[in-house]
């Protein structure tokens, strides 16, 4: 057998050998640290015996798959602790997830947040016991009887869903046995740093008609220092929660009369309008024409587009003149109607339409989360109609636009290419052509990307841009989707240079995605300390007493005349209180005026960026702040206030 390792080297064996033994053959240290392996790209247990030629990638805790394996074992340790502490508790499922693990359980008495410390303590005992995880198999019928005997009805259901001839895999550690496909690390001792995080409710199998179970979330890391860093990040994220900051800064609100439908307050509208002003400037420079299409269109349009079949359960409907109309969940069919409004020529291509359209999507109440998950939002769409030979150049153009915007807003990002989902429109041949078009464009630009299998839109593959915030969290925002299906469904045409009719290719593209969600991401990334050009109030004038109110008003009017958003704090409060209030509201510039300032005609400046900046001539201050605003630059924050 030839075993090709990740570095390209090849090891040969005359008889079947376990992946663990191959690791030992390389080095004892590697064998000690391995968590799992990938055999021909599929992650599996390192105890797996290999009996054929294959590629082998040995996963340690430093690899994403290795860390997921540690967390999966942590879920089993937690389940074992629960079985010890709560006799009669019933287990459902317990996988690893992106930031940790969870287990869904059913118990006769409530498990509360106060119980987490007790569960953690029992888990630590199990880790110290250094229990080996041993894999074994059982026929389906025998597995069903086993779980019936153990009073595990959820496990019975899971096994019953498998084919009758299935052989079921189990993992055993000490007295605890669980249904599991794996993989797992060698021993419970490998779960070195963990923390139980929270409780939540979860319907069995995600179906609201099923019983509500208790979901216990935790996380685990190879080292305590990594866990400490993660817990610090969680606390920092709580401080930056956009819902908390949005309330403090009076940016937006929600009301019981419209759950999931955000209200933007005056300060929030200033922020949003400034962001969209920049968006429009960039799009004008890049050759886009802005349009607006109706928020409601008839059902037949959505049937033609495929949205009704693939997205109907998320759409709001209404009856008008005995005909069904739908609130649009996406803007694309409206752009198609604009394209079809008149005959098109190859000379017009690429034809770029941009629209900041209000869309509505029915989200379940449990999924709603501030601005991050709402039922109505503005999508900063663009729909481009191009010839097939323009795909590469147009994708490059879009990537350059996204890069420009994200650099201005100080976001780094990585790219994923999402491929054909199970629920899709069109032939495999069309999907292959579209996917290869996106791949070629990215590769010719020299851009690195990851493949996200099966996560494309139902009408075509897409390039997704995942922005990274200051806490290292990633958010999928911009996307570029190639579509052959909607032009076909709507019979779109243009007259080519040869005088014949041709079908255009359609590109769906956003930069922010949901504008509301992007604002939520920005709030958390900046912790509400926006660059001055985005701040609702850019300068607040703080008179030391009422005697200087006239001068404060004079200064304020001069700033306003220069285009700086300014206001006077007219409250009869001490200056220290006014400074603290302005600091909490994250106002970039505080201008303090008293006897000295009025006498000299100057101002005392205190900023969010440098603290006390001393006395300044008002015209110099205006010139400097205007340059900061007009150039849309951000001054670095004081180290203590980052």
Q: Token digits for 502? A: 């041709």
Task: Copy the structure tokens of residue 311.
Answer: 């997205």
DSSP conformational letter for 187: B
The answer to whether the CB of 603 falls within 8 A of the CB of 621 is: yes
Cα radius of gyration (the chain): 30
Longest CA–CA separation in the chain, Å = 95
* Residue 638 to residue 247: CA distance in whole angstroms: 24
Q: How far apart are CA 352 and CA 494, in angstroms?
A: 15
Q: Does 383 qualify as catalytic in the annotation?
A: yes
β strands within 453-594, DSSP E: 462-468, 474-483, 494-495, 501-502, 505-514, 539-543, 566-568, 589-593
* Best CA proximity match to 540, nearest among 598, 581, 599: 581
Report the alpha-carbon distance of residue 450 to residue 417 in Å, rounded. Answer: 6
Annotated catalytic residue within 47, 307, 424, 508: 508
Helices H / strands E in the chain, number of each: 20, 35
**Rounded distance between C-alpha atoms, residue 366 and residue 400, angstroms:** 37
**Dist CA 245 CA 530 (whole Å):** 12
Marked catalytic residue, from 80, 90, 173, 379: 379
The reply to whether 508 belongs to the active site is yes
| 85: CB partners within 8 A, 6+ apart | 118, 119, 122
Task: Judge whether 635 and 410 are in contact, CB under 8 Å.
Answer: no
Two tokens, residue 24 = 């030992």
- Which residues, listed in sequence order, are joined to residue 68 by a DSSP beta bridge? none
Q: Are 354 and 512 within 8 A, CB to CB?
A: no
Please state, in angstroms and as integers, the Cα–Cα distance from residue 283 to each residue in 156, 398, 429, 538, following that order.
Answer: 56, 10, 33, 26
Catalytic: which of 378, 462, 565, 578? 462
Set 328, 352, 361, 509: catalytic member: 361
Catalytic member of 326, 332, 480, 556 = 332
Q: Known catalytic residue: 310?
A: no
Main-chain dihedrals φ then ψ at residue 430, nearest 5 degrees: -65, -40
106 catalytic, yes or no? no
How many CB atoms are located within 10 Å of the residue 68 CB? 21
Catalytic residue among 45, 380, 381, 569: 381
Give catalytic residues, as residue numbers: 332, 361, 379, 381, 383, 462, 508
């Amino acid at each position: 057998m030839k075993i090709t390792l990740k570095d390209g080297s090849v090891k040969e064996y005359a008889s079947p050998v376990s992946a663990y033994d191959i690791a030992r053959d390389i080095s004892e240290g590697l064998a000690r640290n391995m968590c799992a392996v990938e055999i021909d790209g599929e992650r599996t247990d390192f105890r797996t015996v290999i009996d054929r030629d294959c590629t082998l990638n040995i996963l340690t805790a430093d690899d994403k798959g290795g860390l997921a394996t540690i967390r999966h074992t942590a879920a089993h340790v937690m389940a074992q602790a629960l079985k010890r502490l709560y006799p009669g508790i019933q287990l459902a499922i317990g996988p690893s997830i992106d930031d940790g693990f969870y287990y869904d359980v059913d118990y006769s008495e409530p498990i509360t947040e106060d119980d987490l410390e007790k569960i953690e303590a029992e888990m630590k005992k199990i880790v110290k016991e250094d229990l080996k995880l041993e894999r074994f198999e059982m026929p389906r019928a025998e597995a069903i009887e086993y779980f019936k005997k153990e009073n595990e009805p959820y496990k019975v259901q899971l096994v019953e869903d498998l084919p009758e001839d299935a052989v079921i895999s189990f993992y055993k550690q000490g007295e605890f046995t669980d249904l599991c496909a794996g993989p797992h690390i060698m021993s419970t001792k490998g779960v070195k740093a963990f923390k139980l995080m929270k409780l939540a409710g979860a319907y069995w199998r995600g179906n609201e008609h099923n019983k509500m179970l208790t979901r216990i979330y935790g996380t685990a890391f190879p080292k305590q220092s990594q866990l400490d860093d993660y817990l610090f990040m969680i606390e920092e994220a709580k401080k930056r929660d956009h819902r908390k900051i949005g309330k403090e800064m009076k940016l937006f609100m929600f009301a019981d009369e419209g759950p999931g439908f955000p209200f933007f307050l005056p300060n929030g509208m200033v922020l949003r309008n400034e962001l969209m002003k920049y968006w429009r400037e960039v799009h004008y420079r890049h050759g886009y024409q802005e349009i607006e299409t109706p928020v409601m269109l008839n059902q037949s349009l959505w049937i033609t587009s495929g949205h009704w079949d693939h997205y109907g359960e998320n759409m709001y409907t209404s009856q008008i003149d005995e005909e069904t109309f739908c609130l649009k969940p996406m803007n694309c069919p409206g752009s198609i109607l604009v394209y079809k409004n008149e005959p098109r020529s190859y000379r017009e291509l690429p034809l770029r339409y941009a629209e900041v359209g209000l869309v509505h999507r029915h989200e379940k109440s449990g999924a709603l989360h501030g601005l991050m998950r709402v039922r109505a939002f503005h999508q900063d769409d663009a729909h481009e109609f191009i010839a097939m030979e323009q795909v590469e150049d147009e994708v490059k153009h879009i990537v350059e636009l996204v890069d420009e915007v994200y650099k201005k807003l100080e976001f780094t990002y990585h790219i994923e290419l999402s491929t054909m989902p199970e629920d899709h429109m069109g032939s495999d041949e069309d999907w292959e052509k579209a996917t290869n078009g996106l791949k070629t464009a990215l590769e010719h630009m020299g851009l690195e990307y990851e493949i996200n299998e099966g996560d494309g839109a139902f009408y075509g593959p897409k390039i997704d841009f995942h922005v990274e915030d200051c806490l290292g969290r990633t958010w999928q925002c911009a996307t570029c989707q190639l579509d052959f299906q909607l032009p076909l469904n709507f019979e779109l045409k243009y007259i080519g240079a040869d005088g014949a009719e041709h079908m255009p290719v359609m590109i769906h593209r956003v930069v922010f995605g949901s504008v509301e969600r992007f604002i939520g991401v920005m709030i958390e990334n900046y912790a509400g300390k926006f660059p001055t050009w985005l701040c609702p109030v850019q300068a607040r004038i703080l008179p030391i007493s009422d005697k200087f109110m006239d001068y404060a008003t004079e200064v304020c009017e001069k700033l306003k005349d220069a285009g700086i958003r300014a206001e006077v704090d007219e409250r009869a409060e001490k200056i220290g209180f006014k400074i603290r209030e302005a600091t909490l509201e994250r106002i970039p510039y505080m201008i303090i005026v008293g006897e000295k300032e009025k006498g000299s005609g100057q101002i005392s400046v205190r900023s969010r960026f440098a603290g006390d900046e001393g006395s300044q001539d008002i015209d110099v201050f205006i010139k400097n702040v205007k340059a900061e605003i007009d150039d849309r630059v951000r001054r670095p924050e004081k180290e203590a206030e980052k």
